[in-house]
Amino acid sequence: MRVTFLGTSSAVPTRDRSLSAVHFKYRGTDFLFDCGEGTQRQFTHAGISPHKLDAVFISHEHADHMLGLAGLIQTLNMQNRQQELKVYGPIGIKRYVDFFKTLGGLKLVYPVTAIEINGPGKVFENLDVEVHAFPVNHVTECYAFKVVEKVEANLDKAKLKKLGLLDSPANRQLKEKGEIEWQGKMIKLEDISKPLKKPLQVAYVIDSRFDESIIRNVEGVDLLVIEATFAEKERESAKLGGHMTAREAATIAKRAKAKRLALTHFSSRYSDDMSILKREAGEVFKKPVFAEDFMTIEV
């Protein structure tokens, strides 16, 4: 899994940091998490093609996380994209996407579909991954996302033989769908198999106060990408604005036993000196990564 930061600033861009946008790639799957203003330009600088995007996941409807959708949709249209682009976000995202699709009299040559998220659960699935959404504690409806690798199942041949499935073409359906009806019974994949390996997991948590529920939802992830907007001396400001401090973010990572931590979404007040954020996070979690625009992390 490859995670590339296209924007790492909160609220307003700085000289060196654009607004929130994180590109995710695994095998043939390409995602974008949030799409701040100017994201289409960041794709160009990063050397990543937005034409390969399967979906965009918008955490919430604040401008610094979604205004770039307008430019991205229009750029892809001018470049004659044909593949459907799916945009996932909280209830209300559809009205913004529909507006961006027609802004300035635009006539799309490719389909753009908005899917509104209404509560926690799996929101996307293909042959490579699943994407799960869960709500976080911001000043408006906001979701975090967790990408879970789909791993090939190691089927138990003895159990398959007992069920009469050993040489059946239904095996493939069982692997792809996770369950099938067989001889009047529902057979679930987990009942007759073990995963060949533990699936990789990457979580994206942005714009949230410190909340115990986040710890439960990101437990054991291979990489936690999470906001660290303020230092501890600004904790009250963080709380009022629905944000976290670097120490709070590191605490979530430690308590969730995340294998790696990447901090992002930094207030512009630290644009010239990140040392206090690095010190406070580093006191809690060993070797946190402080994301910079165009940084890539391999998982």
Q: Are 214 and 144 in contact (CB under 8 A)?
A: yes
Query: Could you count the other beta carbons within 10 Å of the beta carbon of residue 168?
Result: 14
State the Cα–Cα distance between residues 78 and 100, nearest whole angstrom: 14
64 in catalytic set: yes
Residue type (1 letter), 39: T
CA distances from 251 to 262, 266, 281 (A): 13, 17, 8
**Identity of the residue numbered 87:** V
And the tokens for 268?
């512009």
**Total residue length of the chain:** 299
Between the alpha carbon of residue 158 and those of residues 166, 178, 190, 193, the distances in Å are 8, 19, 15, 11
Which is the catalytic residue, given 64, 207, 211, 293? 64
**Residue 21: left if φ>0, alpha if ψ -120 to 50, beta else—which one?**
beta
* Strand order across the 143-149 sheet: 121-125, 129-135, 143-149, 201-205, 223-227, 261-264, 289-290
Residues forming the active site: 64
